[in-house]
Structure formats: C-alpha cells, structure tokens
Amino acid sequence: MTPDDCENPHPWRLCTVTRVEEVKCVLRLLPIWLCTILSSIVFIQMISLFVEQGATMN
C-alpha cells in the first residue's frame, strides 16, 4: 500500500462482502426479469392487435 492509496482509495476496495453478495443475487435475477418482460411484451402486443381488429370491424 502506498501513501497515495490512503489519499485516493480505490473504489473497488471499499465494497463489503455483503454488498458483493447482494449484487450477485440481483444479477442472478436479471434473466428471470428479462424473460418476464419479453413475454409480457408479446402478450400485450397480441391483446392490443385483437382490440384493434375488433375496433375496425362492425
């Protein structure tokens, strides 16, 4: 450790183990969130097209 490190600590060295584990947990959830969002977009697109088709018909 140099004296310069004490004046300007490296930001990655300031993380606690708990914070790192919490970030890892959130990152593990990202694929689930992405799949849910994509399936919701497809479902809403299908519903909106059905409503548009019904609105154009008498």
Task: Assess if residue 40 is contained within a domain.
Answer: yes
Task: Assess if residue 43 is contained within a domain.
Answer: yes
Task: Assess if residue 50 is contained within a domain.
Answer: yes
Domain that residue 54 falls in:
31-58
Task: Assess if residue 15 is contained within a domain.
Answer: no
Q: Note the pTM of the prediction, 2 decimals.
A: 0.53
Task: Assess if residue 22 is contained within a domain.
Answer: no
Distance (Å, whole) CA 22 – CA 12: 15
Distance (Å, whole) CA 22 – CA 25: 5
The per-residue pLDDT for range 23-57, each reduced to its tens digit, is 999 999 999 999 999 999 999 998 998 888 888 88
CA 43 to chain centre: 20
- pLDDT band at 9; cut points 50, 70, 90: low
Task: Assess if residue 42 is contained within a domain.
Answer: yes
Task: Assess if residue 47 is contained within a domain.
Answer: yes
Number of domains, the chain: 1
Task: Assess if residue 10 is contained within a domain.
Answer: no
